[in-house]
Structure 1
Amino acid sequence: MPTIAIVGAGPALGLSIAKLFGAHGFEVALISRNKDKLDTLVAQLAEAGITAAAFPADVSDRPALTAALEQAAARLGAIDVLEYSPYSGLEMVSPQEVTVDNLQPEIEHLLYGAVTATQTVLPAMLEAGSGTLLFTTGGGAINPYPMLATTNMAQAALRNWVHNLHNTLADKGVHAATVAINLFIGATAPEGVPHAAPDDIAQHYWDLYTRRDRPERLVTA
């Protein structure tokens, strides 16, 4: 059975992606900081008949993230799909307020974690001649929002790198792409706020996996 590793797995989008890929025959490795929350997700997936396992790790702890992915591969088999979407909240920082100190956590979380995860699973993908790398960003990675300067900077760097991966890995059988979510994730939202249910957003990840025809999908109203 193929395996998807979801880094940053949570009870909304991460669970929806896990359910969708699991319904298509994937085993699921769930990686995030909180073991108790991961165990709850594993139980929910088991109720749906999906094989899943939890591998706690903080994406900012590079050795721990590497170890979690290696443990997932040892237990479930080589990672066929990596989905990277950790979320630690939004820091309101204007462009003129950006400093090295307030930018560094976003770079560690969004960019360095993604690089670490990719370098852990990519060698096996290249050896197999197949694989998919999917990374979640926001609309601000494309058109920045002034109040989210540090997040947008880190996501834009991630987007640039993933597009480079897309261009250089395609002929090696590995597809790399980003999903830029430019709306609120939820079945409901405050009046006037664009939103979409996690299950609907998850479909974009499946489409990228199956079609393998583009480096980016923008999810917007």
Structure 2
Amino acid sequence: MPTVLIIGAGPRVGLACAEIFTNANFQVATASRTQRLDPKYRHYPVDVSKPGTLAALFEQVSSDIGIPSVVIFNAAMNQATPPDNPFANDLDTVHEIMDVNAVSVYVAAKEAVKGFEKLGAEGLGPAGGTFIFTGNGLNHTASPSLMAFGMAKSAASHLIQHLALVAYLDKPYKFYYADERHEDGVPMWFDLNGDAHADAYYELAADPKQRAWYYTFVRGKGYAQFPRVETSFPPSS
């Protein structure tokens, strides 16, 4: 049975992904600081604010249930600032935001690829290996109170773009920066739909071909392209 590792497994996107991959006969490993899902999903404690701990997570999952052929990085961390003071976060907070949303993504992608290489084409199967990062529109949209969060998402976005379009063109590996939108293209902000993510993520994992690395999608409709928006304002602003 293939294995999926869900990093940042919460009760919305993480749970929905665990359910859909379980139904598709995957071994499911969930990882987060605390177990927030049904105990039937094998849980591994991990703190993604400490990127150096992720290699051990992959080693343990690989030893226990199998090398992951699908890795979903769903963890996120933000500390909003007053709209008129983007530098309000102290340096330690900025480091933590970058570690969770960018540096740990780098380490997770590195470990995922190491696993893909060990599995080889036969072990990966016809769908190949898949790495999916749960992003948002902040990789190209500036928004009040979210500067550091946007800096980190932008870094993760470039990582995914490079891996998908430059580094592994000749390999059966796929990389995605996923961004759910409303039908009019407005960012979801804090209203993400777990079922929409699960449907999109399983579809991407099952497709042997690399689709658009920046995968903007709409619930019930799938992939959709939207014009670039330079600035956007969350409903609370």
- Secondary structure of the corresponding residue to residue 97 of structure 1: coil
Q: Is the 8 A contact 1:126 1:172 kept in 2?
A: no
Quick one: distance in 2 between partners of 1:148 and 1:88? 11
1:142 aligns with 2:140: yes
Give a deviation string over 1:94-144, Cα, whole Å, max 9, x none: 586236714222111111111111222211202414311100111122322
**Aligned residue in 2 for 1:104:** 95
Amino acid at match of 1:152: G
Give a deviation string over 1:148-179, Cα, whole Å, max 9, x none: 11101100110011010001213211101110
**Aligned residue in 2 for 1:21:** 21
**Aligned residue in 2 for 1:156:** 154
1:114 aligns with 2:105: yes
Amino acid at match of 1:125: F
Query: How many pairs align?
Result: 201
**Aligned residue in 2 for 1:177:** 176
Quick one: distance in 2 between partners of 1:131 and 1:95? 43
1:217 aligns with 2:215: yes
Unaligned runs of 5+ in 2: 122-127, 181-186, 220-237
**Aligned residue in 2 for 1:63:** 52
Q: Is the 8 A contact 2:77 2:97 kept in 1?
A: no
Shift of 1:180: 1.6
Shift of 1:201: 2.6
- In structure 2, which of residues 69, 75, 81 is the aligned counterpart of residue 86 of structure 1? 75
What fraction of aligned residue pairs are identical, expressed as a percent?
Answer: 23
1:208 aligns with 2:197: no
Alpha-carbon distance change, 196 to 62 in structure 1, aligned in 2, over 3 angstroms:
closer
Quick one: distance in 2 between partners of 1:196 and 1:108? 22
**Aligned residue in 2 for 1:49:** none
Amino acid at match of 2:102: L
Q: Is the 8 A contact 2:112 2:131 kept in 1?
A: no
Amino acid at match of 1:172: K
Q: Which runs of 4+ in 1 moved over 6 A?
A: none
- Secondary structure of the corresponding residue to residue 132 of structure 1: strand
Query: Which is richer in helix?
Result: 1
Q: Is the 8 A contact 1:93 1:148 kept in 2?
A: no
Quick one: distance in 2 between partners of 1:136 and 1:94? 25
Quick one: distance in 1 between partners of 2:148 and 2:159? 17
TM-score by length of structure 2 reads 0.77
Give a deviation string over 1:14-60, Cα, whole Å, max 9, x none: 0001111111111111000114x2xxx243xx3xxxxx311101012
